[in-house]
Amino acid sequence: MVVVVAGYAAYKSIFTTYSYRYRLQISLSVDDNVHTGSSVIEVVWSCGPHLAGFAQCAPSLGGQATVVDLGSHGVVVATLYTGENFTPVPDGAVDATWLCAIAFGNRSTTEDLSKLPHLTGRRSLSPDSFPRLVWFSNPADPKSARKVTIGNVASIVDPTARFTDAFVEITHGPIVVDIAKKLPWYPALLEAQRGTGIYSESGKFQLIYKMFVGENSS
């Protein structure tokens, strides 16, 4: 038993994991009716041994995209990933990996990772640090997808449309994955793309299954 404990301690000293959960909540008003959606997202940073003073760390996500149901006006989805394979993203959209950390002033650098599990409280999202927003005029049809931003939501969704609130809040709440109930085409997208290493082409918007459910989710 002593050998096992010592071996586990040695392993943990070489391979370190930092994780935290946050709730993303977004509210959008259309025709003076406020619609709100939220989801719990988990960020996990896995770090290997330190080499030359630096650790190789890689992030992964659990949870699902945040869906705001607008009734007859469709749905707006805040995706986990931007769907872009190059940086900087032209419209400034931010992946869920960085979204909460940025709101709390944490850069998620090697030096800052250990602080992430100790975050507490709630922070509003700034207009220049928003997730990728995708509007589906018909939630049952993935071909109805269009990218929207804070600046153009009124011209695309409805003249009265405006974002009224958006924040992240540290939580220990459970992760719920029920995206298929909200976007019924998601299982088919997952089946078609999983294992293919699919990426969006430069300058081309494309739906990718990882945008909707994190790789750490069952």
Query: How would you write the pLDDT of the chain (218 residues) with one tens digit per residue?
Result: 543 333 333 334 468 999 999 999 999 999 999 999 999 999 999 998 865 556 689 999 999 999 999 999 999 999 999 988 777 787 889 999 999 999 999 999 988 999 999 999 999 999 999 999 999 999 999 999 999 999 999 999 999 999 999 999 999 999 999 999 999 999 999 999 988 877 766 667 889 999 999 999 96
| Domains identified in the chain, total number | 1
Strands 66-69 and 75-78: antiparallel
Q: What is the pLDDT of residue 202?
A: 65
For 188, the domain range is 16-211
Please give the sequence-ordered ranges of beta strands (E in DSSP) within 15-137, or none if there are none. Answer: 16-30, 33-51, 54-63, 66-69, 75-78, 122-124, 133-136
Confirm whether 203 is domain-assigned: yes
CB 152 within 8 A of CB 2: no
Q: What is the pTM of this model?
A: 0.90
Q: What is the pLDDT of residue 7?
A: 36
Q: What is the pLDDT of residue 185?
A: 98
Looking from the CA of 168 toward its CB, the CA atoms found within 13 Å total: 25
Q: What is the pLDDT of residue 204?
A: 73
Q: What is the pLDDT of residue 110?
A: 86
Confirm whether 101 is domain-assigned: yes
Confirm whether 10 is domain-assigned: no
Confirm whether 98 is domain-assigned: yes
Instruction: Measure the CA–CA gap between 8 and 112, rounded to whole angstroms.
Output: 24
Confirm whether 5 is domain-assigned: no
Query: Mind giving me the DSSP string for 143-175?
Result: GGEEEE-TTTHHHHT-TT-EEEEEEEEE--PPP
Backbone angles phi and psi of 9, in degrees to 5? -65, -40
Confirm whether 191 is domain-assigned: yes
Torsion of the alpha carbons at 21, 23, 24 and 28, rounded to the nearest 10: 170
Instruction: Measure the CA–CA gap between 121 and 33, rounded to whole angstroms.
Output: 28
Q: What is the pLDDT of residue 216?
A: 94
